[in-house]
Amino acid sequence: MGRTAHSLPVYSGAPVDALKRPLGDVRLSVTDRCNFRCNYCMPAEVFGPDFAFLPRAELLTFEEIAVVARQLVALGARTLRITGGEPLVRRNVERLVALLRALDAAEELCGEPIDIALTTNGSLLTKLAVPLRAAGLNRITVSLDSLTPETFTRMSGSALPLESVLEGITAAVEAGFADIKLNAVIRRGVNDAEIPALVEFARAQGHTLRMIEYMDVGTANGWRLDEVLPASEIVARIHAMHPIEPIAPSRPGEVANRYRYLDGGGEIGLIASVSAPFCGDCTRARVSADGYLYTCLFASKGSSLKRYLRPTVDAVGLREDLRARWAARDDRYSELRDAETTSRLPKVEMFRVGG
């Protein structure tokens, strides 16, 4: 059974979709490129050296992204997450953070600051953590699927060492980021033996670990249901190590089921898109690096926003288009997949729309 819609905040003038879900979170992709080739997202055998990524001219400029973000904020969005691909491979991404932080002055916010977050593989954080913090970034999430070098290399598909990610996490801490989350995609028979080590690492470092069920995102990752380790089993394994208990969501629309350690050792989150879909209270929109709006991670197509940005900006038209598209939204792929596990509808690849 999926999670059902609960009481979600709706801001004045903000639309709700066809299933009464307001807009709350926006994923802003800044690039489709990545220096990793994680096998659940961008497997190297498909996305090899000759793969044609987006030409630079097709990417939205940082200023154009900020224009789109402002209109989404006007429609109720309060969390903006910068994603990719790997967002830190795009040069001067801290300048985008500063442009988004400047939106705090937008009259629609009435003094309510925007939460600006970033999801990264962490390999470039050693150089960028300080400028990102200085620009106004609130939070960082780092993907960390393994603490074993061999398994890390197998899953990341990269020649970059595990140490580059661990050093990046340390750099983020030293830059002043206090709310660091670690995301681990768990695949049965691939890295599920890593669960104890990941748990102990996160507890020792004071970070929140979030374990994610292996999802059928895109069409290139060779997803198989028998490689999905259900969140309930992950919870049981963790509970056997360190007893945990469920706690309430920190905010409406949160995708992770939260648990806390009974010994006071922090908390852990489980994202169960396959075994316990949360479509009922999903408040997320996604904007791709080339300016397409997607209203679901599993969408098959998006709608272009560029006509409102080039050659000149039409902010009013953009806002009304976004309002209309959100109002028409009826996506609930994970609930449908839950009922029809073998369904293989065409879907956009995750690196194009952000996870």
- pLDDT for 342 equals 41
132 neighbors 179 (Cβ within 8 angstroms)? no
pLDDT digits (tens, 9 = 90+) for 221-249: 667 777 899 999 999 999 999 999 999 88
Q: How confident is the model at residue 322 (pLDDT cuts 50, 70, 90)?
A: very high
> Torsion angle, CA of 208/209/215/217, rounded to 10 degrees?
50
**Least-confidence region, from 2-16, 33-47, 192-206:** 2-16
Average per-residue pLDDT for the chain: 89
Are 328 and 92 in contact by the 8 Å Cβ rule? The answer is no
Does residue 99 surpass a pLDDT of 70? Answer: yes
**Helix, strand or coil, per DSSP, at residue 294:** strand
pLDDT at 254: 81
- With residues binned 3-state (H G I as helix, E B as strand, rest as coil), the percentages for the chain, rounded to 5, are 35, 15, 50
State the pLDDT at residue 250: 80
Q: Tokens 């970059």 sit at which residue?
A: 160
Give pLDDT, residue 4.
45
More confident residue, 129 or 354: 129
Q: Tokens 């073998």 sit at which residue?
A: 342
Which domains does the chain show, CATH number per domain? 25-353 (3.20.20.70)
Residues with Cβ within 8 Å of 294's Cβ and at least 6 positions away in sequence, in order, are 285, 286, 287, 288, 302, 348, 353
For 23, 75, 228, 276, the CA distances from 215, given in Å and listed in that order, are 23, 29, 8, 12
DSSP letter string, 316-328: HHHHHHHHHHHHT
Cβ contact 27:81 at 8 Å: yes
pLDDT at 244: 98
Task: Return the percentage of the chain with pLDDT > 90, whole number.
Answer: 70
Note the pTM of the prediction, 2 decimals: 0.90
Identity of residue 226: D
If one compares 142 and 345, the residue with the highest pLDDT of the two is 142
> How confident is the model over 64-89, as a mean pLDDT?
96
Structure tokens at 185: 């995609």
Q: What is the pLDDT of residue 192?
A: 96
Does 181 score more than 90 pLDDT? Answer: yes
CA dist 165 and 142 (Å) reads 8
* pLDDT for 68: 98
Quick one: pLDDT at residue 1? 36
Residue 7: band (very low, low, confident or very high) from pLDDT cuts 50, 70, 90:
very low
